[in-house]
Amino acid sequence: MARRFIVEADGGSRGNPGPAGYGALVRDAETGETLAEVAEYLGTATNNVAEYKGLIAGLRAAYALDPAAEVRVRMDSKLVIEQMSGRWKIKHPDMRPLAAEAQGIVPPGQVSYEWIPRENNKHADRLANEAMDAGKRGERWRPKVPPGGTLAPGAPEAAAPADDALAEPAATGAPAVGWGSADLGTPATFVLLRHGETPLTPEKRFSGSGGTDPALSDVGRHQAERVAAALAARGTIQAVVASPLRRCRETAEVVARRLGLDVRVEEGLRETDFGAWEGLTFAEVKERYPDDLDAWLASTEVAPTGGGESFATVTRRVALARDKLIARYPARTVLLVTHVTPIKTLVRLALGAPPESLFRMELSAASLTAVAYYGDGNASLRLLNETAHLR
């Protein structure tokens, strides 16, 4: 018989929007034992966003314990329960991707939803408030219950310093617990491959998702063959996912063909839309749009001239794609064929580095970077801009 779990989740915002956090736990449905606790400070968010984040974290924790388990979700949010049960439409655009993310974690036939009164959801509410209190102190929340069972007597509950970007997406949407955590099993590992060269690459021109969508050059195709051979020799890649842009799909197809795999396209992995800067060099942008360029370099909230995407917008998109892929490929090694900005963003989020770190990383064409994501929310950078296969 399949195991049965109960997920209790809650989220709150002190201001709506305001400082927000979520809490969730997984119980054994037979014994009532708490098997896992998760919580996180989200920075500024609304109540509804925090509640959905709590649901997502709770489902992830249950899935990590047993992917085949039957899950009963209990929350005091009528909105979330009715929307996830399919009885209410999801009208707010901010809620739709969160609901879609939650739906993709546990197979639909294994999960059900139940509304409970607030007084019956005190455990999850307490976790959410603990996370918000920790965030206010500049700390990260730490679990009292490790994945799989109750806290051992005398186990520490220390908090780690938070990074400077608490209002941005966290490493995986779950709390980090430090080096002393229990064995959390095989992580989801993303091997990040920047596409091969296009005619624009050696000229260092802005080439995003709003331009001409160039194909690989002869050099780029050769690079793709070289990286395919290197990855085939390693024999670790289990799936291939690519940005929808042509240069990534072409690179991915070369590698996948060598590995005997199919290519799955993920829209969230596309490059930044650079607006009116598409096809221009940095010097040309500086000459034509000096004020816009200075503003863009000074703030991640500023978009390029002509309606492009800000780095903050790209960060939210990439973080959502990351979370979807972690849920889709637990404990697997997946090749993500993408672009400079998405790769740098994944590295930055994994390290908890500030936004300006995007300008302090070098990523060569057809280079490999790797990040591992563990069940407790920790991320580990394992490789950056590796190009030995091209020599």
Kindly report, residue by residue over 146-185, the tens digit of the pLDDT. Answer: 545 544 333 333 333 333 322 334 444 433 334 444 455 6
Cα pseudo-dihedral 150, 49, 241, 374, rounded to 10: -20
Q: Phi, psi (5° rounding) for residue 103? A: -65, -25
pLDDT tens digits along 60-95: 999 888 888 999 999 999 999 999 999 999 888 878
- Are residues 384 and 193 in contact, defined by beta-carbon separation less than 8 angstroms? no
pLDDT in the model for residue 91: 84
pLDDT tens digits along 120-147: 999 999 999 999 998 888 787 877 655 4
- Are residues 139 and 160 in contact, defined by beta-carbon separation less than 8 angstroms? yes
Query: Which token pair is 186?
Result: 């095989």
- Are residues 23 and 130 in contact, defined by beta-carbon separation less than 8 angstroms? yes
Query: Which token pair is 160?
Result: 């780690």
Task: Tell me which amino acid residue 179 is.
Answer: W
- Are residues 42 and 50 in contact, defined by beta-carbon separation less than 8 angstroms? yes
pLDDT mean over 51-67 = 92
- Annotated catalytic sites, by residue? 195, 271
The pLDDT confidence band at residue 307, using thresholds 50, 70 and 90, is confident
pLDDT in the model for residue 144: 66
Report the distance separating Cα 111 and Cα 9, nearest Å: 14
pLDDT in the model for residue 163: 32
Chain-centre distance of CA 10, in angstroms?
Answer: 20
Task: Tell me which amino acid residue 58 is.
Answer: G
- Are residues 172 and 346 in contact, defined by beta-carbon separation less than 8 angstroms? no
Task: Tell me which amino acid residue 1 is.
Answer: M
pLDDT in the model for residue 261: 93
Say what percent of the chain tops pLDDT 70: 89
pLDDT tens digits along 17-41: 889 999 999 999 999 999 999 999 9
For the cut 50, the answer to whether the pLDDT of residue 351 exceeds it is yes
Mean per-residue pLDDT over the chain, rounded: 87
* C-alpha dist (Å) from residue 284 to 209, 218, 287, 290: 19, 26, 5, 9
pLDDT mean over 343-355 = 91
The pLDDT confidence band at residue 211, using thresholds 50, 70 and 90, is confident
